[in-house]
Amino acid sequence: MAGFLFNDVIFGPVRSRRLGLSLGINLLPLREKYCSFNCIYCECGWTSPKQAVHPEFPSRAEVALYLEQRLQELQDEDYLPDAITYAGNGEPTLHPAFAGIVDDTLSLRERYAPKAKVTVLSNSSRIDVPAVFDALQKLDNNILKLDAGSERLFNLINNPVEPVNFDELIENLAKFQGNLIIQSMFLRGTYKEQVVDNTSRDEVALWIGHLVEINPKLVMIYPIARATPLHNLEKIALRELEEIAEKVRMAGLNVQVYQ
């Protein structure tokens, strides 16, 4: 499965189940997925083991130019977005000018769409980089991934391209001191002849323990909604997701379930 790729730097706006009307910013190459993870559920497909050594990122100036042009158009159409979202063909914080692009986006947001929430959908793999960490702190919706409670399932589900110390990842998420949103995909299946199930009682308990340490302002729980590169994955029913969400609430955290 090749997966779905975005062919433009600025795309949409599109209707998002979590963000409302969202104008997307793709900071990654336009012809391939470029990511630090290889998640088994990624709508962009598998991360190539031969992904570009020197990827063709859009320049900071190009991103600002295209974003301003699109915001001007949407302002003229009276169709301004609820969110301006870094997403696209992989992990947006891999862009070498991510911090500067955040500053440009915030400035353009204030000029054209002051009610829009500047948002990132990130896999959390670059939060140990000081410039990335500082940039994420500036966003309205700093949405970071945590799909597992155990290191074993983290590696099975998210497949880091380079090894990630899971304990350090949790510690780094906690350093945001609550200025973040955790997004978590729940699923079941098999991969590499191992059972993948982050809905089990033990796995959910470990995951909630991490959430309590991280103390996010919101936890977003959601199931598979699009085609996945691994075909045997099960979409978790709303009833089961709500049961998991109730356990999060009992731990004293805000949570929202998305279908």
Q: Give the CATH number, domain containing residue 102.
A: 3.20.20.70
Whole-number pLDDT of residue 236: 97
Q: Is the dihedral of CA 167, 168, 169, 172 positive or negative?
A: positive
User: Beta 187-191 vs 234-235: how paired, if at all?
Assistant: antiparallel
Whole-number pLDDT of residue 206: 98
Whole-number pLDDT of residue 53: 83
Cα 7 to Cα 31, 40, 150: the distances in Å are: 7, 22, 35
Domain count, the chain: 1
Per-residue pLDDT tens listing for the chain (259 residues): 456 788 899 999 999 888 999 999 999 999 889 999 999 999 999 998 888 788 999 999 999 999 999 999 999 999 999 999 999 999 999 999 999 999 999 999 999 999 999 999 999 999 999 999 999 999 999 999 999 999 999 999 999 999 999 999 999 999 999 999 999 999 999 999 999 999 999 999 999 999 999 999 999 999 998 889 999 999 999 999 999 999 999 999 999 999 8
Is the pTM above the cut of 0.85? Answer: yes
Q: Identify the bridge partners of residue 184 per DSSP, sorted by sequence position.
A: 221
Whole-number pLDDT of residue 54: 83
In-domain check, residue 83: yes
Q: Which residues are CB-neighbours of 152 under 8 A, at least 6 positions away?
A: none
Whole-number pLDDT of residue 231: 92
**Closest by alpha carbon to 257, among 238, 232, 235?**
238
In-domain check, residue 2: no
In-domain check, residue 18: yes
Whole-number pLDDT of residue 1: 41
Q: Phi and psi for 194 in degrees, rounded to 5? A: -125, 145
In-domain check, residue 125: yes
In-domain check, residue 118: yes
Whole-number pLDDT of residue 52: 74
**Residue 92 and residue 28 in contact, taking contact as beta carbons nearer than 8 Å:** yes
In-domain check, residue 3: no
In-domain check, residue 207: yes
| Range(s) of the domain holding residue 96 | 10-257
In-domain check, residue 39: yes
